[in-house]
Amino acid sequence: MTAPNNQSELISTFLEVACWDHHVHGKGDHRMYDRAAQRLLAQHPEIARDSLYTAVVCGDVEEVERLLAERPEAANEPGGARGWPPLLYLCYARFSHQPTIDNALTIARALLDRGADPNAYYMAYNSTYSALVGVAGEGEQDSPRQPQAKALFQLLLERGANPFDIQVLYNTHFSGEVLWWLELIYAHTVKSGRKAEWDDPNWRMLDMGGYGSGAQFLLNLAVQKNNLELAQWCLSRGACAQPQSQPILPKHAKAKTADLTALRREALRLGFDEMAHLFVHYGAEPGELVLEGEEMFAGACFRLDRGVVASELAKHPEYLESPNVIFAAARRDRADVAALLLDLGVSIEIQDRTGKRTLHEAAVNNALQVATLLIERGAEIDPIEAIHNATPLGWAAHADHREMMDLLSRSSRNIWNLAFGGYVDRLREVLRAEPELAKSVDKKEITPLWWLPDPETKALEVVELFLAHGADPSFRNTGGRTAADWARKRGMLQVAERLEGS
């Protein structure tokens, strides 16, 4: 993406920052792009009437109706910065401009009435990102849900969108908030004569391939999130996750036994007794289930049953070398369990094969009690894992957990996330001790001058701090762009002028 140095680039930049795609990752980045779009429209209000695509994104109903009256076929024509039809721009817009939010449903109807395809999509590598996917949001990109998601989703279903969109299921499983759209597709398909598809207890119409059948995937999700409402909803509609031939799993997927008794066992292992009782009500093996191996050890740890914990460790001291239980404690913010494990001898710097440590797990899950415990016990603040090359502060920033960022920033020396988070005082301390960090360049030839917080006054403070310690504003990235170009793209004109005048 290029900085808006002329009208054409301005329009392209606006459409790109106002709408998300699979390249935008993390709530922090989504907010940054949204604010960039707000600045650009405020500086150039003529953007809204540049084309049908910009009128849709800006929520300009009058202009949309005018353009569609002139050329109804435009409702289905791809174009604009992303080469999408107008409906995709509407579904993927995450522009917190009030007319955009208020008029989304009206504009969607106008487009669909003129023949817009409710199954419009674009390809994200090998994945199909449909209009429904855009409305639902989330995914590995952690996109916000469309503000009028339920109404738009229902409208698209009524106009012929495929109700069984497994990318929607995949993208929303991260948060576990799937019931809102499951209820919509169930009601829609039953009403339209497709109840038979739900009668298959495996719900193959939502088959997730290597991750298992639709029923298996959803029930396992309910267990992992301890979501009794979701489990009850699925089980009461016949989902049973019956055992099938074992699927071939992708390398990063964990095999799951597809039956209710196994799901009950998992619920017990996690300490979710009410969930376990629910599975018994729907046919799981009753009676006591004896956990074995590391499952027994984990269950005892979460019950704080020191007798069983000691007994298991006497037989299996290798459990202290596994990150599984302390990572689970971090995900659930069980500082008491984490403290027990540390006292028993689990390394505070224990990591998995990717280099992820307990503090990473705590950071991304906003587990403030566990993170505080780890910091007090002397955990390294800025370890870098191998998948995203990120520190715990980076993981917290990705999820936009501000309380966690505040906690970690007090000790972090990660100038990139300190700058992006606007932690000027801490950044000043770090640069005072290590001024050479201001001249850092990453693998993409990006300097810290690109990592500026959203409030422009604070961004200017960060710029002055980096410049005072030797940062080079003329440095160009792999695309030949400078930090000033990036600031201009974000609509930060004062920052761009300061960088260009240095």
Fold match flag (1-160 vs 311-412): yes
What integer best gives the mean pLDDT of the chain?
A: 92
- 318-338 as b/e: b if 16+ CB within 10 A: ebbebbebbbbbbebbbbebb
The token duo for 252 is: 């990063």
> Could you give the CA distance from residue 496 to residue 270 in angstroms, rounded to a whole number?
51
The token duo for 94 is: 């995450």
Q: What fold is seen in the domain 311-412?
A: 1.25.40
- 200-219 as b/e: b if 16+ CB within 10 A: bebbebbbbeebbbbbbbbb
Instruction: Work out the average pLDDT over 328-335.
Output: 95
187 contacts 233 by C-beta, under 8 angstroms: no
Instruction: Work out the average pLDDT over 471-486.
Output: 93
> Could you give the CA distance from residue 361 to residue 384 in angstroms, rounded to a whole number?
12
> Could you give the CA distance from residue 423 to residue 414 in angstroms, rounded to a whole number?
11
Domain residue ranges of the chain, discontinuous segments joined by +: 1-160, 311-412, 423-502
Q: Taking the CA of residue 176 as centre, how many other CA atoms within 13 Å lie in the half-sphere pointing to its CB?
A: 13
Reported as a single tens digit per residue, the pLDDT across 417-468 is 999 999 999 999 999 999 999 999 988 889 999 999 998 999 999 999 999 9
The token duo for 370 is: 């566990």
**CATH (residue range 1-160):** 1.25.40
In this prediction, residue 167 carries a pLDDT of 97
Instruction: Work out the average pLDDT over 308-329.
Output: 95
Going by pLDDT thresholds of 50, 70 and 90, the confidence category of residue 258 is: very low
Going by pLDDT thresholds of 50, 70 and 90, the confidence category of residue 395 is: very high
In this prediction, residue 253 carries a pLDDT of 38
The token duo for 244 is: 């099938």
Q: Which of 140-144, 241-245, 272-276, 334-338 has the highest mean pLDDT?
A: 334-338
Best CATH choice for the domain 423-502 from the list 1.25.40.20, 2.60.60.20, 1.20.140.10, 2.30.42.10: 1.25.40.20
The token duo for 363 is: 């950071």
Assign 3-class secondary structure to 294-331.
HHHHHHHHHHCCHHHHHHHHHHCHHHHHCCHHHHHHHH
Going by pLDDT thresholds of 50, 70 and 90, the confidence category of residue 4 is: low
In this prediction, residue 386 carries a pLDDT of 94
pTM of the prediction? Answer: 0.85
At residue 250, does pLDDT exceed 50? no
∠ CA 138-139-145, nearest 5°, is 15
Length of the chain: 502
> Could you give the CA distance from residue 107 to residue 87 in angstroms, rounded to a whole number?
9
Q: Which of 231-245, 293-307, 428-442 has the highest mean pLDDT?
A: 428-442
489 contacts 456 by C-beta, under 8 angstroms: no
Position 285: which residue type?
Answer: E
By three-state DSSP, how is residue 84 classified?
Answer: strand
Position 184: which residue type?
Answer: L
- 22-59 as b/e: b if 16+ CB within 10 A: bebbbbbbbebbbbbbbbbbeebeebbebbbbbbbbbb
